[in-house]
Amino acid sequence: MNTTTRAILQTVMSSDASLTEPERGFVRRLLDGDFGEPAAPGATAGERLLVTQKRAAEMLSVNRVTIWRMTRDGMLHPVEILPGMLRYPLKEITRLAQAGKPSENLSRGSGTFGAVASAA
């Protein structure tokens, strides 16, 4: 952390009376060089409760646009952290991945892909 950032954080700590105790503790840890996240209730060490749209797409092996569509269609229920900043519950992504079934339309030897393969 550079000296300007350190000075800003120290100023905030000393002048902002609206900071809650958890926020003050977080800033103290930053100033002490502890950049790790404390484990959230219900989470094991290193497990995140919320993931980004990009990470959700990677976990489900789909495109980010697909995640947006799944949200629009009510399959996923993101949490809005800040205006326009969405995070997806990890448990919901995991549940969706485990409940997924292979599509009958894309199974081997059927549909368009099977017809193209057999014609070649």
Q: What is the pLDDT of residues 64-81, one digit of tens each?
A: 999 999 999 998 999 998
The third-level CATH classification (topology) of the domain covering 47-99 is Multidrug-efflux Transporter Regulator; Chain: A; Domain 2 (1.10.1660)
Beta-carbon neighbour count of residue 15 at 10 Å? Answer: 8
Beta-carbon neighbour count of residue 93 at 10 Å? Answer: 21
Q: What is the pLDDT of residues 15-71, one digit of tens each?
A: 988 888 888 888 888 888 776 654 444 455 456 789 999 999 999 999 999 999 999
Task: With H, G, I as helix, E, B as strand and everything else as coil, classify residue 62.
Answer: coil
- Structural domain boundaries in the chain: 1-39, 47-99
pTM equals: 0.47
Residues 93, 57: Cα–Cα separation, whole Å: 9
Number of continuous H segments (helices) and E segments (strands) in the chain = 6, 3
| Residue whose C-alpha is closest to residue 76's, from 85, 63, 87 | 87
